[in-house]
Amino acid sequence: MKDKIFETNNLITTRLVCLDVTKNLKLIALVGETGFGKTTSILNFISEHPDFNVYYIKLRKSMGTRNFYSTMLNIVSGESGINKGTVFSMINRIAFILNNTGKKNLLIIDEAGRLTKNQWHYIQEVRDETEKSTGMIIAGPEYFKSKLTEWRDKNVEGIPEVYRRINGWVHLKCPTAKEIKAIVAVYNIKDIGFIAIALKASNFGELINLIINYLRARDDD
């Protein structure tokens, strides 16, 4: 089944956040559980705006601090496979490039729940060095916010300063009944029993999996 993009409330919210952050050079945290459509909505925004300077980094569990900033430099510079030096020199290079694009930039860090305390310290450096040229969105699940808030409340070194720089928290939501019915209708499913099951889906990922399994079972009959 070919992937479809649905004009959900979360997609619209993410689009508006991306536009606002780019225009006003904010630092916004985008929060939503797995399956709420964070990544899909972000990538859809990027595809809709090829003329924007958008740099998207998806954090991987295996990434150490050096790997993370090396990847960020690769994406920002468009280069790869070069000796990038220390984390300090990489951040300086990232900042220099972003500050000299001649346009407003949008830097998006996805899967931010995987950021370590040390990586957050360096996020602060990137933000401080580029705040006049680059808006930032840091996206992650609910535990991303709760973990960062806990570190702030415990006064973990450097975290209160990072937390203070976040201009706002935007929370994505679970699908509404109206959205679920509209998505089910796109696939021409009129089975009342299935619709009742679909209405219990807690996120869009779960809903799409239910639809896929239903269509496969129907085709096999």
Over residues 104-128, mean pLDDT = 93
pLDDT given at position 117: 86
Task: With respect to residue 108, please indicate whether it lies within any of the assigned structural domains.
Answer: yes
| Residues of the domain holding 202 | 177-220
Among 130, 147, 171, residue at a domain's last position: 171
The pairs formed by 45-50 with CB atoms below 8 angstroms and a separation of 24 or more are 45/14, 45/15, 45/18, 48/15, 49/18
Do 214 and 118 have their domain in common?
A: no
Q: Give pLDDT tens digits for 177-193.
A: 999 999 999 999 999 99
Q: What is the spatial distance between Cα 36 and Cα 63, in angstroms, rounded to a whole number?
A: 24
pTM equals 0.92
Q: Which of these, 63, 17, 64, lies nearest to 37 by C-alpha position?
A: 17
96 located within any domain:
yes
Q: For residues 194 and 141, state if they share a domain.
A: no
CATH number at residue 26: 3.40.50.300
Q: Which of 132, 153, 171 is the last residue of a domain?
A: 171
Q: With 0-12 CB in 10 A as exposed, 13-18 as middle and 19+ as buried, what is 204?
A: buried
Rounded-to-integer distance, Cα 30 and Cα 49, Å:
19
Number of structural domains in the chain: 2
Q: Is residue 105 pLDDT above 90, yes or no?
A: yes
Q: Are residues 164 and 193 in the same domain?
A: no
- pLDDT class for 81, splitting at 50, 70, 90? low
Do 51 and 160 belong to one domain? yes
